Amino acid sequence: MSENDLGFTPSEMMTIAASRALKNDDVCFVGIGAPSAACNVARLTHAPDITLIYESGTIGTAPDVLPLSIGDGELCETAVTTVAVPEMFRYWLQGGRITIGFLGAAQLDKFGNINTTIIGDYAHPKTRLPGGGGAPEIATSSREVYITMAQSKRGMVEKIDFFTSFGHGEGGDHRKRLGIDTAGPTLLITDLAVWKPDPVTKEFTVVSLHPGVTREKVQATCGWEAIFAEALDETPAPTELELKTLRDLQARTKTAHASAAKGKAAQ
Amino acid sequence: MVKFLPLKKAVAENLHDGDTVAFEGFTHLIPTAAAHEAIRQSIRELTLIRMTPDLIYDQMIGMGMAKKIVFSYLGNPGVGLLRRVRDAIENGFPRPIEVEEHSHAGMANAYEAGAAGLPCAVFRGYRGAGLATVNPNIKSVSCPFTGEVLAAVPAIRPDVTFIHAQKADRKGNVLVEGIIGIQKEAVLAAKRAVVTVEEVVDNFNDLHPNLTVLPNWTIAAISVVPGGSHPSYTHGYYDRDNSAYLEWDEIAADRDRFQAWMQKNVIESSADDFAARVEHLRKAA
């Protein structure tokens, strides 16, 4: 993705906008990839005391570089404590201690339902994706769910092929009807916009466009008919500090993950 | 009582055709050397259980050893998909494979129930999740006190569990440190457990009293295999070989390249080759 004339890329804007949504006192269950970058930028800028939890059991982790996997050693080395996986899911997630579950998505619909399981039919899939991992219960046991992904017609679809993680189902009070008493997806941050669910229908609505982004561009990269809030904001551009923090983090990450490869080549 | 055995013998004595087997490790401490030994011994018709099947199940399934896989995340961690498993599920190559899919919470609870000697696990999960509609082993029960409807899954009871750990003492007690994942539950849920370790020390006398130690009478066999979790890592010994995970994505993408890699790096290799593979990943002392 190329830098626009504003001096940052859509991907950087996405990560930084996502990082701003996190508060200093949040306890955040972090999905790998884009959520992980956003959570660590938050920790390195306005939310130094945020508790970041990865499903490998690391609680209160503060990695210097972004982990390649959810179980990288640095997560454990910098954590307040590391617990076993059943404890992670039983006491900490099911126990109701997570304020924000931060997820990415392969396929997303307008009600925040996520598919990371299959493309096509479950029994005879066209593409077998990795599956849910921790996400099905992160989506229902975290007090709120934030989702972040780059927009595309392939990713943001009218109908997902499989309900890996339940968002608002068919909308309205569908969560409540299934006995789910947590708020579910309350925020979607893409590379183009910030979306929030309508209070009644629960359909994602664009509430803020990132700098330089038009409604047409949002619609052209979204598989459902996008709804825009009447009072549409412009997302504040990344500050110098936010950009520097993100870029430094990514540079450190790149160097760290390349070093093993170099060592191998030198053998 | 535990026996210290060469890995070849430990696998031959404990893993048999048709077994239900778990090679556990949550990104950390993956028992790669044990899995490679099972591949060399060409054990067949296995039911493979693991929360996060990664390269080793991609390899075993690519070699046609499994009739069924039970899992909750089928990915190459941080890289993407498992291409040999995909080929088996999508195309039935080299053979069709039965799939039983859960969430992490479902698997973790099921292992814990296995370790606790319960027939099933009960937890708050799978609400609105598609898995509950495609996996007949996901059912529900009502709490007899509150009426709340909860998910139920059968306990996991493997015939044998393989794990990798930091060290054993001379009596065969095993210490696991760092990201401990589901390994303790997987060992206690199994009929037999085999552990590969980095080293054997005289005793654990000076350790913190609350560390995760598996007593020797919970383990059937221990094999000393330095580097035995490569390309995963062993906390305190060597780092994760991230580049190997990236390379695997290319190797596994092609059926012939996969076969050639397996021939050279598994079939014609041995457990003794692992130490050299982690030499460049060892932490500076």
The residue assigned the tokens 């780059």 is A150
| Average pLDDT of the segment spanning A63-80 | 91
pLDDT at A260: 53
| Average pLDDT of the segment spanning A174-185 | 97
Catalytic residue among A3, A12, A55, A240: A55
Please give the residue range of the domain that contains residue A71.
10-265
Of B26, B123, B134, the CB nearest to A71: B26
The residue assigned the tokens 């498992």 is B82
Q: How many domains does chain B have?
A: 2
B195 shares a domain with B143: no
Q: How many domains does chain A have?
A: 1
On average, the pLDDT of chain A sits at 93
- Separation between Cα atoms, residue B19 and residue B23, nearest integer Å: 12
pLDDT tens, residue by residue, B55-73: 999 999 999 999 999 999 9
Q: Is A55 a catalytic residue?
A: yes
State the CATH number of the domain containing residue B180. 3.40.1080.10
Examine the pLDDT at A69 and tell me if it is beyond 50.
yes
CA B16 to mean position of chain CA atoms: 16
pLDDT tens, residue by residue, A207-265: 999 999 999 999 999 999 999 999 999 999 999 999 999 999 999 998 887 765 544 44
Domain boundary among B110, B136, B154: B154
In a domain, A258, yes or no: yes
Instruction: Answer whether B179 sits within 8 Å of A68, measured CB to CB.
Output: no
B254 shares a domain with B129: no
State the CATH number of the domain containing residue A103. 3.40.1080.10
In a domain, B49, yes or no: yes
B277 shares a domain with B196: yes
Contact B130, A163 (CB under 8 A): yes
B168 shares a domain with B137: no
B271 shares a domain with B174: yes
Nearest to B23 by CA among B221, B217, B183, B235: B183
Instruction: Give the total residue count for chain A.
Output: 267
- Separation between Cα atoms, residue A170 and residue A203, nearest integer Å: 9
pLDDT tens, residue by residue, A235-245: 999 999 999 99
pLDDT tens, residue by residue, B119-131: 999 999 999 999 9
**Whole-complex ipTM:** 0.95
B174 shares a domain with B128: no
In a domain, A1, yes or no: no
CA A164 to mean position of chain CA atoms: 15
- Contacting B residues, span 2-41, partner chain A, CB-CB under 8 Å: 26-28
In a domain, B108, yes or no: no
In a domain, B115, yes or no: no
Please give the residue range of the domain that contains residue B147.
120-154
- Contacting A residues, span 92-121, partner chain B, CB-CB under 8 Å: 93-94, 117
Contact A58, A20 (CB under 8 A): no
- Contacting A residues, span 203-262, partner chain B, CB-CB under 8 Å: 257-258, 260-261
B253 shares a domain with B125: no
Strand, helix or coil for residue A208: strand
In a domain, B57, yes or no: yes
- For helices B32-40 and B55-62, the axis angle rounded to 10 degrees is 10
| Average pLDDT of the segment spanning B184-208 | 97
B149 shares a domain with B272: no
- Separation between Cα atoms, residue B105 and residue A142, nearest integer Å: 13
Contact B191, B219 (CB under 8 A): no
B83 shares a domain with B32: yes
Q: How many helices (H) and strands (E) does chain B have?
A: 10, 15
Examine the pLDDT at A1 and tell me if it is beyond 90.
no
Instruction: Answer whether A122 sits within 8 Å of B279, measured CB to CB.
Output: no
